[in-house]
Structure 1
């Protein structure tokens, strides 16, 4: 069981890294939303020259909002995962202590009552691990969903470059927006992939 305690400690690190990755995803999604607002203002000034770019800014903004909403939901799940990690650590630690006390109390009158308490803690520990496993599977699915708007943002960024090429003197400004969206989408993809990798490692260690 000492090994299980060590595994639980490693979960703290993994869950903390996931929280950090998600925080950066949220910041980048907000940057995309700001980029969409800037692009909308530029496209408005450009008028007819950026007519094809104007609806793209709405798509960019919608993708940013969708990403923020999804990450908010994922953050709630990640917090639950952290709470389960804390609970598992405590129950595993308690079980290890019970096991040591039972070993020292072999042959005593209190051995059976200690064993009953130990069995109860062990059951709680197993229940906690089951709930943890369910939450990992759900979180992996949610993270996969965040990949979709990130991929869509990269496609939109490519279209934005094409439309920006028609914008005359506003070309550089609109291309800068397209580049920022593309870069942000890549960061979101990489960070979400980092979260998924951390979860997969935890998932593997549980089996």
Structure 2
């Protein structure tokens, strides 16, 4: 059935988003740990890493901002998953009631079945109305996550410059800069994958008749 194919595509998309967000959370925590390590190295380096010390605070703040955003996004993603399940169950209920109404058209209590079918259809329509709006909220939040990821890449570039002046601590601090840069790129890629999956089901939610489901 079409609704089964549609629900299946939504389940797959929401599950993949949850996996990507979990990876983003882990990477953000890694950035926070890298900031703590960099702070310790910069403290030991003293004047040689004076310019690097405030950068560690920026890195840590960016990690915290990303983690906070991902927590909010995870909550929205859970709502989306629950809404997907509810819509799927209501779609199945609609199908069952439609079959029952067709079989019991002349039965004494056929009207009660028809009333139940109307109620289930209304509830399903409400889910379908909520779905694209919730997806749009998630897309906006994911765009917000991109800002600290971009900022982290800029900070990583500045970190390399400051690390080059840290004498014997240069390699350690440059390694921190590289880890932050790599983490920011991973976050960027993961978030882009989330946005791609959401954009697809967002389109499907608004224009379900334009897509053929298997």
Say whether the fold is shared (TM-score over 0.5): yes
Matches of 1:130 and 1:110, distance apart in 2: 31
Give me the TM-score of the superposition, normalised by structure 1: 0.97
| Other-structure match for 2:40 | 41
| 1:206 correspondence with 2:197 | no
Q: Distance in 2 between matches of 1:141 and 1:83?
A: 20
Gaps of 5+ in 2: 207-214
1:21 maps to 2:27: no
CA distance in structure 1 between the aligned counterparts of 2:62 and 2:19, rounded to whole angstroms: 21
How much does 1:23 deviate?
0.4
Contact kept? 2:131, 2:205, Cα under 8 Å: no
- Per-residue CA deviation, residues 126-167 of structure 1 (Å, 9 max, x unaligned), is 101111221111111101000000000000000000111111
Aligned partners of 2:2, 2:191: CA distance in 1, in Å? 29
Return the alpha-carbon distance in structure 2 between the equivalents of residues 79 and 7 of structure 1: 18
Look up the SS of the partner of 2:106 in the other structure: coil
By how many angstroms is 1:108 displaced?
3.1
| Inter-partner Cα distance in structure 2 for 1:101 and 1:3 | 19
1:129 aligned to 2:128? yes
Q: Which deviates the most, 170-179 or 98-107?
A: 98-107
Matched, 1:119 2:118: yes
| Match in the other structure for 2:212 | none
User: How big is the shift at 1:103?
Assistant: 1.9
Deviation at 1:169, TM superposition (A): 0.9
Q: What are structure 1's unaligned runs of at least 5 residues?
A: none
Offset at 1:102? 1.6
Could you say what the CA RMSD is over the residues aligned between the two structures, in angstroms? 1.0
1:197 aligns with 2:196: yes
Q: CA deviation at 1:100?
A: 1.3
